[in-house]
Structure 1
Amino acid sequence: MSNSKIVANQADHFFGDVCENFDHAAQFTKHDAGLLDQIKSCNSVYRFRFPIRKGNGFEVIDAWRVEHSHHQSPTKGGIRYSEMVNEDEVMALAALMTYKCAIVNVPFGGAKGGIKINPKNYTVGELENITRRYTVELIKKNFIGPSIDVPAPDYGSGEREMSWIADTYATMNPGQLDALGAVTGKPIALHGIAGRREATGRGVAIAIRECVSVAEDMQKLGLTTGISGKRVIVQGLGNVGYHSAKFLSEFGAIIVGLCEYEGAIYNEAGLDIEAVFLHRKETGSILGYPGAKKEFRNSLEGLEQPCDILVPAALENQITGENVKNIKAKIIAEGANGPTTPGAETMFYQNGGIIIPDMYANAGGVTVSYFEWLKNLSHVAFGRMNRRFEENSNLNLVNMVEGITGIALSPLQRSSIIKGASELELVNSGLEDTMIRSYHEIRETFKGNPKIETQRIAAFVGAINKIAVSYQNLGVWP
């Protein structure tokens, strides 16, 4: 069987893998079987097709929007632009969004969208037509709205596509005050939020930093405590992978390997992430980068090189039962959705490793999307109301302390103390607090029950319990 068929078969079972993990975690809860079935099932699956003009002819586009759970409103989830997307994948990703939001205490239900295209095969005008028509189809079926279902970027889409969605929704809903809250991940100029673009990668880096800060766990892995000096391999130089590598490097880690679809590069002494990114932009490939000591035409070989931490931040099913035995990392932090198959995860834990699960590790995006949604509903930027007040209060305090002590601070010291928080600083603070608190919630569940084998199952247990409480509070279940 060819590699493409194997990947396709694995993708067709993605939702089944999610449900398998759910069922395994459910045994560690005490909820009614009917309630568990309600939590697990996808509530609404909308599959549709629409024609677009392409060249001198027409093309029919397949698309989906899945709303997995309505225990919280609105539902929330990205739109994936990929020729590999299918209904099973969108259902799985919508389910993971439900659990992800619960894990990081974001009050959304889970949803996901998919458009079956390769964006590289279309002009900007054609992509705009596809995106706007997709949005119209969602509007017609009431599958989008600031209190209904709020899309966001995903693989193959970004700020540009979100701006088209926002404009289409606002045009179709004249006079709706909160129309821009119908989609997140928008450009700053269209009432997006500072820090959203890098949020997922920053969240991955914070999750890793928090994991390696626990001395007890690092001792069992034979690693030192703290992120400084940890060797990291990152798969994927897209938005998530690039920013994960960037922030990990800033935290003190050493990026020793980078993998992309065209191949992989490695240098035990470390790679300059910015230089590699620029090299790829200029040449179209990470291969040939002069700072690499080794390079591999098969990108999966790059995952198997010596390191402490592996960050798969590309697509699902990258670490399988076939290659997990060659993985040398002690920690896998899942930047992508579903990069590790269930069988591979079992083997990795049996060998003493730790996997930071995707539905927690990459939750930075939805966390900051939540902040953007709040900004759009409140119609005011974070920090606008109180920044100057804080600065004046701090200035008065500094002047008083200098007057009492007779010690004059330098201009740099004064400015660092007086400065009020910007929107970006507030967003990053909220994201950091969310990721730190959520990691220790998962770890406490994991350590609190010796029968729970992995952090993923612990995360599922916590998510199930929170969602069950939401249904009970709604009066749906006693």
Structure 2
Amino acid sequence: MSENNDYSLFDEVNYFVESAAKHLDLDKALIEQIKQCNSIYEFNFPLRNDDGSKEVLTGFRVQHSHHKVPVKGGIRYSEEVNVEEIKGLAALMTYKCALVEIPYGGGKGGVRINPRNYTVSQLEKITRRYTSELIKKNFIGPALDVPAPDYGTGAREMGWITDTYMAFHPDSINAKGCVTGKPLSLHGIPGRNEATGRGVFFGLREAVSVEEDMETLGLKTGLKGKTVIVQGLGNVGYHTAMYLEQAGAKVIGIAEYNGGIYDEKGIDIQKINKYKMDNDGFKDYNKGKFIENSTELLTYECDILVPAALENQITSNNAKDVKAKIIAEAANGPVTQEAEEILLKKNVLIIPDLYINAGGVTVSYFEWLKNLSRVSFGKLQKRYEKQKFQDLLDMMEENTGQKFSEKQKELIIKGASEKDLVESGLEETMVKAYHNMNEIRKKKNIKSLRTAGFVLALERIAISYMDLGIFP
């Protein structure tokens, strides 16, 4: 669903940057420098299939900003991949990292294929050749450009990228830091798979905790009892829905590319996900109503709408029919600028993509740090902390005469695991960023949370550029 045939995500992002710049006193040339992509690499490479046939594929890698290095951004496999989309996604990553204070510039990459049309063997060949093309032009490396999974890719592809990079750089001690979202066996990090969805949950939890904002929307604080519709039950949509369900929210609708399901009584997320995996869709599911045209679900009544699929989903064509009071942009760019203007007039709270889906890059940052230090988080102090708390409990029991139960002792003296520390760091990042963004919105009397987020990000990037100066 698009506004018109000339839709450009890059232009969309720059529109939001220009809107934010009106609230800051920055040099026009500096804003122009921030807006533009620093490096754009589009290339073609051949694929030899098992039957001997050949085809030519197109790949992309864009580095938007070098105000901080390395740059960071996912690799997507999709037939819709084009240079404007990749530029837009790379730019969005720049502002996203700045907003949540992760020290990366923005990047993005992709290959124009439908991965469903290729075997595992073919996908491995494509991934390894794509990686080698990036290596040739210095578009990948732990100090240069660190990709991650995105739409159509996952830990498997990141493992292939890691192995290919290591083959070209056998003497690099930091080689595994060339990519994040890797399998745990290749020094990935616990919690990365669910990081984006968990981040969306944290962001929504914080948004609905602000009483003043909820009163404006006519909602009570807290997630309990809130009705939710999710578009896209992939990795992000599934984990978002699962965490919201656990917090007491009720998921009443799920939209997928081949149909949706609606049940006002609530949908069991684990059951529907298993059914989808087994049947490639929701048709003939024994509960709820099957919706042939799943985009209709975007306009159904609910408290929270979570577009977790692709960009350009809520446009001027359907924004007027949207009934949700809160939209959490779990995908990148699902709400167009025209749609946002319509929704803001309807008093809809839009939690923007540059904030709400930043959980993935946040935990990717933790993985990268782990790879550079070559030690797991908590490994050096876990036993020490456990013993310290044990000694403290023993002292308390001895001095007070009070005995703790085994369950109480287990809770108190438990040392933090690597996953505990990752989730704690993610929660701290998302909580702090939301309230910083919301504070700017109110301080500057800005209606849009997105504009407030861009103001904060733009200001931080501008300071970096000014402190760096101009070479030579």
Q: Per the shorter chain, which TM-score range?
A: over 0.9
Does residue 260 of structure 1 match 2:256? Answer: yes
Deviation digits for residues 449-471 of structure 1, max 9, x if unmatched? 12x33111111111110001111
- Choose from 460, 463, 472 the match for 2:454: 460
Q: Does the residue aligned with 2:130 lie in a helix, a strand or coil? A: helix
TM-score (ref. length: structure 1):
0.97
Equivalent residue number for residue 366 of structure 2: 371
Equivalent residue number for residue 327 of structure 2: 332
Does residue 229 of structure 1 match 2:242? Answer: no
Equivalent residue number for residue 102 of structure 1: 98
CA distance in 2, matches of 1:334, 1:214: 19
CA distance in 2, matches of 1:296, 1:72: 45
- Choose from 241, 246, 250 the match for 1:250: 246
Does residue 344 of structure 1 match 2:330? Answer: no
Deviation at 1:256, TM superposition (A): 1.1
Q: In 1, are the aligned partners of 2:3 and 2:315 still within 8 Å (CA)?
A: no
Q: Are residues 179 and 436 of structure 1, via their aligned partners in 2, closer, same or farther at CA, if it must alter by over 3 Å?
A: same
CA distance in 1, matches of 2:99, 2:3: 28
Runs of 4+ in 1 over 3 A off after TM superposition: none
Per mean C-alpha deviation after superposition, the further-off stretch among 12-21 and 230-239 is 12-21
Alignment of structure 1 residues 427-446 onto 2, 5 Å? 427-446=422-441
Deviation at 1:253, TM superposition (A): 1.0
- Choose from 108, 133, 153 the match for 1:112: 108
Q: Does the residue aligned with 1:9 lie in a helix, a strand or coil? A: coil
CA distance in 2, matches of 1:272, 1:412: 31
CA distance in 1, matches of 2:279, 2:120: 22
Does residue 61 of structure 1 match 2:61? Answer: no
CA distance in 2, matches of 1:7, 1:366: 29
CA distance in 1, matches of 2:170, 2:8: 42
Per mean C-alpha deviation after superposition, the further-off stretch among 14-23 and 157-166 is 14-23
- Choose from 125, 128, 131 the match for 2:127: 131
Deviation digits for residues 296-320 of structure 1, max 9, x if unmatched? 1000111222210000000111111
CA distance in 2, matches of 1:264, 1:117: 25
Q: Does the residue aligned with 2:90 lie in a helix, a strand or coil? A: helix
Instruction: Please tell me the residue identity of whatever aligns with 2:214.
Output: M
Deviation at 1:8, TM superposition (A): 7.7
Q: In 1, are the aligned partners of 2:97 and 2:104 still within 8 Å (CA)?
A: yes
Cα RMSD for the two superposed structures: 1.1
- Choose from 302, 311, 315 the match for 2:306: 311
CA distance in 2, matches of 1:288, 1:307: 24
Per mean C-alpha deviation after superposition, the further-off stretch among 35-44 and 274-283 is 274-283
Q: Does the residue aligned with 2:299 lie in a helix, a strand or coil? A: coil
CA distance in 1, matches of 2:278, 2:95: 39
Q: Does the residue aligned with 2:37 lie in a helix, a strand or coil? A: coil
Deviation digits for residues 225-252 of structure 1, max 9, x if unmatched? 1111111111101000000001111122
- Choose from 31, 41, 44 the match for 2:39: 44
Equivalent residue number for residue 397 of structure 1: 392
Q: Are residues 372 and 79 of structure 1, via their aligned partners in 2, closer, same or farther at CA, if it must alter by over 3 Å?
A: same
Unaligned stretches of 5+ residues in structure 1: none
Deviation at 1:295, TM superposition (A): 2.4
Deviation at 1:215, TM superposition (A): 0.1
Q: In 1, are the aligned partners of 2:166 and 2:175 still within 8 Å (CA)?
A: yes
Q: Does the residue aligned with 1:303 lie in a helix, a strand or coil? A: helix
CA distance in 1, matches of 2:463, 2:15: 22
Q: In 1, are the aligned partners of 2:63 and 2:90 still within 8 Å (CA)?
A: yes
Deviation at 1:288, TM superposition (A): 2.3
Equivalent residue number for residue 122 of structure 1: 118
- Choose from 136, 149, 152 the match for 2:148: 152
Q: Are residues 300 and 329 of structure 1, via their aligned partners in 2, closer, same or farther at CA, if it must alter by over 3 Å?
A: same
Equivalent residue number for residue 291 of structure 2: 296
Alignment of structure 1 residues 163-242 onto 2, 5 Å? 163-242=159-238
Q: In 1, are the aligned partners of 2:92 and 2:354 still within 8 Å (CA)?
A: yes
Q: Structure 1 vs Structure 2: percent identity of aligned residues?
A: 55
Equivalent residue number for residue 274 of structure 1: 270
Deviation at 1:20, TM superposition (A): 1.0
Deviation at 1:23, TM superposition (A): 1.0
Instruction: Please tell me the residue identity of whatever aligns with 1:475.
Output: G
Equivalent residue number for residue 474 of structure 1: 468
Does residue 406 of structure 1 match 2:404? Answer: no
Deviation digits for residues 66-124 of structure 1, max 9, x if unmatched? 00000001000000100110000000000000000000000000000010000111111
Equivalent residue number for residue 76 of structure 2: 80
TM-score (ref. length: structure 2):
0.98
Q: Does the residue aligned with 2:126 lie in a helix, a strand or coil? A: helix
CA distance in 1, matches of 2:149, 2:5: 26
Q: In 1, are the aligned partners of 2:282 and 2:290 still within 8 Å (CA)?
A: no
Q: In 1, are the aligned partners of 2:3 and 2:316 still within 8 Å (CA)?
A: no
Deviation digits for residues 364-393 of structure 1, max 9, x if unmatched? 000000000000000000010000001000
Q: In 1, are the aligned partners of 2:232 and 2:307 still within 8 Å (CA)?
A: yes
Instruction: Please tell me the residue identity of whatever aligns with 2:332.
Output: N
Equivalent residue number for residue 31 of structure 1: 26
How many residue pairs were aligned? Answer: 470
CA distance in 2, matches of 1:174, 1:466: 37
CA distance in 1, matches of 2:214, 2:139: 45
Q: Does the residue aligned with 2:113 lie in a helix, a strand or coil? A: coil
CA distance in 2, matches of 1:287, 1:37: 49
Q: Does the residue aligned with 1:232 lie in a helix, a strand or coil? A: strand
